[in-house]
Amino acid sequence: MPFDRPALVAQARETIARGSKSFAAASTLFGRETRERVWLLYAWCRACDDLADAQDMGGALGDQAGAAERLARIRSLTAMALAGEPSGEPSFDAFAVVAAECGITAEMAEDVIAGFALDAAEWTPRSEADLLQYCFHVAGAVGVMMAVVMGVAANDEDTLDRACDLGLAFQLGNIARDVAEDDRAGRCYLPAEWLAEADIPPGEQMKPPYREALMGAAGRLCRLAEDYEASARVGAARLGFRERWAVLAAAGIYGAIARKVAARGGHAWDRRVSTGKWEKLGHLARGWWQALPWPEPKGPRPQWHRRALAARARQASGRGVPAG
């Protein structure tokens, strides 16, 4: 392939170190080959997210004018990567390398890009199923690609479903944490049906009179996140030891976000919830213990799993647009 792989790996490593300290910490637990591939995939995800939202390393949203043009650029650069063509954009060239090495498909990539299309269209969820479908696109589909990078077979449907569930858990926790931040950016990912049930008028969820009711909606997000995390832990038990350790450590780190939001009650958005260095180290140690060869945990698969959400998207008018 016409790529300088070592240079792309080095740049991807720098990207993950800047873009996500939590993912960077968890990635150190992989063997070298898997670790480098995770970095390469992360670089593409970060570049797509930043380009879609006109931001830098996940910082404040930029001017959202021209969202359709930025989305078209993401699709064009990704198509070049999947065709093995250099684009001059290191993060997309990184994707070319990892896609070729691991068999990541155009359909997998489009599942992720469809989430950026929803944001570009200023879409908001009406129902819980809409919310979960959005989470599938922006995080669950990434979990599927990560599983493929870790060596999960493309026909191991249940394990891929569980990998998707971990992405869903992460995103649900992030949405609960970022309600105030999203509101300032003019976005709301809480289902309209939830807000109506809580008697919260559209667009007024952050106003003081609705703070207690809003915590009820955030609690629902956190409980959903816990359900999906539990399902993901079943799939993690089927991975190799180092992959299992990394996944379980990441599950602990990100699961802590949802648990902190739920515990803070009405003060959940006074300051951004995060996990500190020592807390991350604790989750790394706990992940090692959990990754030992215990019997595979048991747990039901949630109703809205990967295949159900993907089918829902593809049955809708326009690929990836929720039917609801």
Last residue of a domain, one of 104, 139, 168: 104
How many angstroms separate the CA atoms of 87 and 294, rounded? 45
Task: Say what the pLDDT of residue 63 is.
Answer: 65
The pLDDT score that the predictor gives to residue 145 is 96
With cut-offs at 50, 70 and 90, classify the pLDDT of residue 321: very low
What is the rounded CA–CA span in Å between residue 76 and residue 23?
A: 27
pLDDT tens across 8-67, in order?
999 999 999 988 887 888 888 899 999 999 999 999 999 999 998 877 765 566 666 778
- The upper half-sphere exposure of residue 145, i.e. CA atoms within 13 Å in the direction of its Cβ, equals 30
Are residues 37 and 98 in contact, defined by beta-carbon separation less than 8 angstroms?
yes
Task: Give the residue, 320 or 274, on which the prediction is more confident.
Answer: 274
Out of 74-88, 252-266, 296-310, the most confident range is: 74-88
Q: State mean pLDDT over 143-164.
A: 93
Task: Say how far apart CA 309 and CA 191 lie, in whole Å.
Answer: 16
pTM higher than 0.85 = yes
Domain co-membership, 91 together with 233: no
Do 12 and 41 lie in one domain? The reply is yes
* pLDDT value for 60: 63
> Does residue 210 sit in the same domain as residue 296?
yes
**88 and 113, same domain (yes or no):** no
- Give the residue with greater pLDDT, 188 vs 56: 188
Q: Are residues 258 and 178 in the same domain?
A: yes
Residues 300 and 180 in one domain: yes
Q: How confident is the model at residue 254 (pLDDT cuts 50, 70, 90)?
A: confident
**Which of 104, 130, 149 is the last residue before a domain boundary?**
104
Mean pLDDT over 153-168 rounds to 93
- The confidence band for 122, taking pLDDT boundaries of 50, 70 and 90, is confident
Res. 284: pLDDT tops 50: yes
Average pLDDT of the residues in 206-230: 89
Total tally of structural domains belonging to the chain: 2
pLDDT averaged over every residue in the chain: 88
Mean pLDDT for 216-221 is: 90
pLDDT tens-digit map of 92-118: 999 999 999 999 999 999 999 999 999
Backbone angles phi, psi at 127, to 5 degrees: -125, 170
Please tell me whether residues 82 and 116 are part of one structural domain.
Answer: no
What single DSSP character describes residue 267?
G
What is the DSSP secondary structure assignment for residue 97, as one 8-state letter? H
Range of the domain at 37: 1-104
Same domain, 70 and 152: no
The Cα–Cα gap between 302 and 310 comes to 14
Which of residues 104, 132, 161 is at a domain's end? 104
Mean pLDDT confidence for 164-174: 94
